[in-house]
Structure 1
Amino acid sequence: MSVHDQTARSIKLTYEEIEDEQLVIDSIVNATRPSTSTKRMHRVPEMLIRETDDYKKYYVPKVVSIGPHHFGDKKLELVEKLKPVFTMKLLSDNKESLRSLYKELGEPEMVQDLRNFYDENMVAKFCNKDFIKMMLLDCCFILYYIQSIFGEKPEDCLDLNSHVIVFLHQDLFLLENQIPFKVLREVMNLANIDCENKFKQFICGNILVPAKPEKKWLQSIPCIGNLQSSRGEQNMDFKDVDHLLHLLHRTLTKNARIPGMDLHPHDRCTFRNVNELIDVGIHFKPSGTMSLANIKFTKGRWWFTASVELPSVTVDDSTKPMLLNLIAYEMCSRNEAWVTSYICLLDSLIDHPEDVKALRKAGVLENSLGSDKEVTKLFNEIGTDLVPNMLAYLDAKNMIQKHYQSWSNTLISQLKHEYVKSPWAFFALLGALIALFLSSVQAYFTVWSPKGECDDLCMFLKKYHHL
C-alpha cells in the first residue's frame, strides 16, 4: 500500500471517528436540552392510566369527537354526521359565509399555526384540506351547541335527546378532545357570531357553585340585582387561551397566588377529617369567591373557635371525569397544580360519609350524585397517588394545624366527647358541678360569714349556760 493510500485511509478514518463523536455529542445535548415544543394539545399521561377501563371511562369521548385524537371513531358517527347540519344552522344556511371561513382558515400560515398545536405524528395523516374541514366543523359544532344549550329547549335545537346532551357536555372538556381556542375566536369574528356571554355561562356552570351574594336593600331593585349577580361572569379572560379545558382551568383557579418562600410548612398535618376539626371548634362555610385557589382561615370571637372558608363545589355525574381531565391537564402543562391541590385537601378532610354530611350542611358541597358514601368514595379515589403543590394553601393549613394541636382546644374536644355527646355522663357531670358549687358556698359562709346581731347573746348563753 502506497503512502498516499495510507494517508487517505487515515484521513477517512479520522473523519469517521469525528462524525461518530459528533453524533454522540448531539445525542447528549439533545437529551439534556429543555424542551421548547409549542405543542399545547396534550395526551393523557401514562401515569394516570392505571387500567384500560379507566381510560375509556374518563378520558375517551362517548358521543362526539373534537380534534384529531379520536377522529374517525365509529362509535361517534351519530354526532359526526350532524356536524355539517349544525354548521349550516349556525351560519343561517349562508354558503358564502362558509366559503369565506374555509378560505380564511385555509391560509398557509393559519394552517401551519393550527397544526403546531398538535404533535406532528397526530396530524400527519390529515392533508391541509381535511384538517381545516375538521377544524371548521368542530368549531361550528361547539359554537352552535353553546348557543343552543342555553335556549328554552336545547334538545329541540340540537336534535338530540337529553341523555346524549349530558355526555356531549362532558366530552367537550376532555383533554384529548380539544381544538385550539384560536379557531373559535376566528370563526366568531369572521362570521360575526356574538356568544361571549353564553360562553361565560357555559364555562362558569361547571364544578363550582355560584356564590350567593348577601341580600342588601339595593338588590331588591331588579336591574341592580341582576347587575350584582352577573359581576362574577364579567371578568373572564379569553386572552392566550389554548382550548376549552384550559379556559375552564383558568376560571376555576383565577386570582391564584403562590405564597412566598419565607413560609414553611408545619412538621406535618395531623388532623384527619372534617369532624375532628369540628370537635376542636373549627367550622366550615362557603367562601364568597369563585376560585379553588382561595381558602381562608379566620379566628372566631371566642378563643376556642375558628372558621375555614372553602369554595363551594357541586358533585354530580360529570364531576369525576371533569376533575380527572383537569388534573391530567395540570400534569402536562406549566400551570400551578391548584385543582390537584384542592382535591388532595378534600381527600384529607373526607374520610367518612359523616364528613361529607358536615360539609354539605355547611354549604361547601352540593351533592347531586347520590348518597354521601358515593361522594366520599369519589374524592378518595381521585385523590389516590396525587401529589399537591406543597405551597398551596400553606398559610391556611399551618393555622389549622396550630389551632388543632392547641392543648386547650384538645381538652375541650375531649370534654365534648366524654360528656356532651353522652346525655347521662353530661347530667352526672352537671350534678357533680352543682354539688361542688353548693359545698363551696357552704364552706365559705362557715368560715367567712359576718357577725350577726344574735352572736353576742349566743356567746353569753354558751358561757353561762350552767347558771
Structure 2
Amino acid sequence: MAGIEHVISVEELLPRKGNDVRTEDVEVQVIEKDSPRQQWLDELEKAGDEADQKTGPKIQKVPFLLRDHKDVAKYFEPRVVSLGPIHHGKPKYRKAEKYKLVLANKFVKESGKAESLYAQIEKKISKLKDYFNEEVTAKKYDDEKLAGMLFVDGCAVLQFIYYHEAEEKFKDKKIKNDQVAFWKHDLFLLENQLPYQLLEDLMELSEKKETLQDSMDRFIENHANCKDPKMTSSTEKPAHLLDRLRTRLLFLGDEEKKRNNKSSTENIEGDWQSYRNVQELRAAGIQLSPSTTNSLADVSFSDKSINVYPGYLYLPQITVDDSMGPKLLNLVAYEMCPDFDNDFGITSYICFVDSLIDHPEDVKELRKGKILHNLLGSDKEVSQLFNEIATDLVPNPEIYADVKKQIQKCYSSKWKTWIAQCYNDHFSSPWTIVGFLAAFLALALTILQTWYSVRGSPSDSKDRSSPAPRIPKRY
C-alpha cells in the first residue's frame, strides 16, 4: 500500500535453512552449517552482541597502531620475565621462570595456607579467565593449565612487591639488582598484566594480608612518584596493576580540583595557538612553576596581572629515566584498548608536554623551573623521547583546553610581554641589575656632559652675569 513502509527485521536479512524457496520477489538459498558464508554471518552476529555488552577492560595485546610503530614497539616487550598467558613459554623468558618459582614458593610458605591458595584459584578460574581477551587464552590454555600459571605468577608478583623495599631479601634469593630493575619494568607492561582480582584473592587468604596490602600501596605510590602517600587514589577496583598506576597518576584531591576549576576561564573564545614551545612562553614572560601535587592532571594557569610576570604555568614534577618511556607508552596502549572507556588522560598529558618541547633548550627551561628531573642523560635525549612517544597520538581536546586558551590570551597581550621582557633583560639577576645601573649611570653622565657643553657650567654663567671690575684711572 502507498504510504506504508515495510520494516525488515534481522531475521529476514539472514538466510533461512531448508530447501530453495523461490517466490515472486525473494529467493532463499540453502546455507550449509559450516560453510564460509555461515561462519561469516555467525561472526557478524557475535561482534554485534559483544559490542552491546558493557564489560570492563580486558587484558589483551597492544593495539596494532602502536605495535606496528617501529620506534616504540620495543617498549611493549618484557625484558626478563613474562607474566600471564601472552608471552608465556617463550624461550628468552625461561631463565626468569626459576626466579618466579622461588618467589612463589616463599609466598606460599609465609602465607601458611598452601593448599587452600591453589584451590581458591582453581575454583575461580572461570571468572579469572574472563579478565583476559579470548584470543590470548582460549586457543592456547585449558582451565587447569591457566590456573597453574596464574597461581605461580600471582604469588611471585606479590612476593616481589613485598620484597621491593628490602634489597637484602632479593640477595638472599640470589636475585641480582639488574634483575630486580627489569622486573619492575616488566610489571607495568600491558601484555604482562595479571587480573587484580587474582592478587586480591591471594592476599585475602594470606596470613600477612595487611602487610601485603601496605606493600602494594607503597609500591604504587613509589612508581607514581607521589608527594603525599596518604592520598587515596580511587574507590573503584582496578583491573590490574597498570590500571591502578594510571588511576594514581591522574588522581586529584578535592582542593586541587577546586583550584584548577577556579583557574579556568569560560569566556575565552577560540582555539588558536600561536606559541610553540617553552622558550617562546618564557620569552613572553610566562613563568613555569611546579604544581602542588604530582598528578598528571594537575596542570593549571594563573594570570597574575599585578605581578611583573603576566602569568604562571603550573605543571606536575616528573622524573625522566629509562623506565619512563615504556611506562607512559603502555599506559597509552591501555587507554587505546577498545573495551576501555576513558578520557585519555595520560595520552593528553603526553601530547601537552610534547607541545612544549621542541628543542633541548625547552627541556633546560623545564629543569630550571623544577618541573623535570633528568636522569636519562642529555636534554636532547629527553626532547627526542617525548617527540618519539607522542607520534600519532590523539589527545582528548577537552583536557587542558582552558589552560591552552589562557596561555594564548596571556601570550597575545603585548604590553605584558614587553614589561616581562624588560624585567628579564635587566632585572633577572644581580649582574643584569649592575649592568643596567651602569648603563643608566653612563647615559646620565653623557646627558649631563652634553648639557654642560651647550649651556656651560654654573661657574661660567656666574662669571658672565657678574659686572666687569673697574680699573682705576691714572693721572
- The residue number in structure 2 matching 1:293 is 297
CA distance in 2, matches of 1:389, 1:162: 39
Q: 1:84 to 1:304 in 2, by over 3 A?
A: closer
CA contact (8 A) 1:367 1:375 kept: yes
Give the TM-score of the pair, scaled to structure 1.
0.78
CA distance in 2, matches of 1:349, 1:250: 24
CA deviations 1:308-333 (Å, max 9, x no partner) are 11111011110111111011111112
- The residue number in structure 2 matching 1:227 is none
- The residue number in structure 2 matching 1:409 is 416
CA distance in 1, matches of 2:136, 2:38: 31
State the secondary structure of the residue aligned to 1:366. Answer: strand
CA deviations 1:132-166 (Å, max 9, x no partner) are 11111111111100111111524314421111111
- The residue number in structure 2 matching 1:198 is 215
- The residue number in structure 1 matching 2:240 is 243
Which stretch of the first structure deviates more once superposed, 129-138 or 260-269? 260-269
In the alignment, which of 387, 394, 398 is matched to residue 380 of structure 1? Answer: 387
Equivalent residue runs for 1:9-408 within 5 Å: 10=22, 16-17=28-29, 34-36=51-53, 38=55, 40-51=58-69, 54-55=72-73, 57-92=74-109, 97-107=113-123, 110-124=124-138, 125-192=140-207, 193-194=209-210, 195-206=212-223, 208=225, 210-211=226-227, 231-237=228-234, 239-255=236-252, 266-300=270-304, 301-302=306-307, 304-332=309-337, 333-408=340-415
Q: 1:427 to 1:58 in 2, by over 3 A?
A: same
CA distance in 2, matches of 1:240, 1:292: 21
CA distance in 1, matches of 2:267, 2:201: 44
Q: 1:8 to 1:322 in 2, by over 3 A?
A: closer
CA distance in 1, matches of 2:450, 2:203: 83
Tell me by how many angstroms 1:68 deviates.
0.4
CA contact (8 A) 1:58 1:324 kept: yes
Tell me by how many angstroms 1:172 deviates.
0.4
Tell me by how many angstroms 1:36 deviates.
2.4
Number of aligned positions between the proteins: 419
CA deviations 1:406-435 (Å, max 9, x no partner) are 111343466579888998996897468647
Q: Which amino acid aligns with 1:204?
A: E
State the secondary structure of the residue aligned to 1:370. Answer: coil
CA distance in 1, matches of 2:450, 2:271: 45
Q: Which amino acid aligns with 1:16?
A: V
**What root-mean-square deviation, in Å, do the aligned CA atoms of Structure 1 and Structure 2 show?**
4.0
CA distance in 1, matches of 2:427, 2:296: 35
CA distance in 1, matches of 2:188, 2:22: 63
Tell me by how many angstroms 1:436 deviates.
9.7
CA contact (8 A) 1:173 1:244 kept: yes
Which stretch of the first structure deviates more once superposed, 394-403 or 42-51? 42-51
Equivalent residue runs for 1:446-457 within 5 Å: none
CA contact (8 A) 1:271 1:277 kept: yes
Q: What 5-or-longer segments of structure 2 have no aligned partner?
A: 1-18, 453-464, 468-475
CA contact (8 A) 2:294 2:318 kept: no
CA contact (8 A) 2:20 2:29 kept: no
Give the TM-score of the pair, scaled to structure 2.
0.76
Which stretch of the first structure deviates more once superposed, 425-434 or 115-124? 425-434
CA deviations 1:229-281 (Å, max 9, x no partner) are xx533414363210000000000011397989977773322111112212222
